[in-house]
Amino acid sequence: MLNPTHFTFRATRSSGPGGQHVNTSSTAISAGWNPVDDSSLSADQVERIRHVLASRCDSEGRVWVRSQNHRSQLQNKHAAIARLEKLVASALYEEVVRVPTAPSLASRVERRVDKEHIRKQKTQRRWRLGGDE
């Protein structure tokens, strides 16, 4: 979905447990992407992304995501790209507003017939079952 040529990557040291490997290698990846540079997006989409993801944007309008779940830079890079694509897709998603409509004539008739049937059964239960009393 997103063009990988518009990404900026930074490698930093991961935090948390992991022993000597964590202390000596920069495996965490921060991936940045500027929606303005991507020509596949319209101006409205760029504004929507900037508005929805404002907390993840820097002063230049670049959206940043950090990944440090894996031990290798490459895996973290793929994870960051996937996360960024998921974020952008969720930012561009607009929920369709339901337009309320009136019930159809058929559904109103069906509901009325059902109520009549229930009322008929209720009155039939009041009748005597035996004729001798």
> Mean pLDDT over residues 99-120, rounded?
94
Q: Is 41 inside any structural domain? A: yes
| Gap between the Cα atoms of 128 and 51, Å rounded | 72
pLDDT score, position 107: 95
pLDDT at 5 over 80: no
Amino acid identity for residue 35 in this structure = P
The pairing of beta strand 63-67 with beta strand 28-33: antiparallel
Q: Is 105 inside any structural domain? A: no
Residue appearing with tokens 């990846």: 29
pLDDT score, position 22: 66
Q: Is 61 inside any structural domain? A: yes
* Domain limits for position 86: 4-92
Number of domains in the chain: 1
Q: Is 131 inside any structural domain? A: no
Residues 6+ apart with CB under 8 A from 31: 7, 8, 9, 64, 65, 66, 67, 77, 80, 81, 83, 84
Q: Is 55 inside any structural domain? A: yes
Q: 83: domain CATH number?
A: 3.30.160.20
Q: Is 97 inside any structural domain? A: no
Q: Is 128 inside any structural domain? A: no
pLDDT tens figures, 19-68: 666 667 788 899 999 888 888 888 898 899 888 988 888 888 889 999 88
